[in-house]
Amino acid sequence: MLQPNDLPLVCLPIDLSDEAAAKLVEFLHELTEALERHYGAQLHRYYNANDISQRDLDPARAPTDPPF
């Protein structure tokens, strides 16, 4: 967890032209897509293992709150 005196993780450039800003965002989208493709199986396992909605459907767990 970052503390108040920690350095920022990303230093964003200021005073970009509209075109440069659009290209930067496009690059970041492409990078994100590449990361998702590369780590796709791991992401799928992680999110399936941590899917709260699936645990809510578990009939073995008794509800702790009354329905009303």
Predicted local distance difference test score (pLDDT) of residue 18: 96
pLDDT tens for the chain, 68 residues: list them.
667 666 666 778 889 999 999 999 999 999 999 999 999 999 999 888 887 665 555 556 666 666 66
Predicted local distance difference test score (pLDDT) of residue 36: 95
Predicted local distance difference test score (pLDDT) of residue 49: 87
- Residues 10-27: b if buried by 16+ CB within 10 A, e if exposed: eeeeeeeeeeeeeeeeee
Predicted local distance difference test score (pLDDT) of residue 13: 86
- Rounded CA-CA distance 7/11 in Å is 9
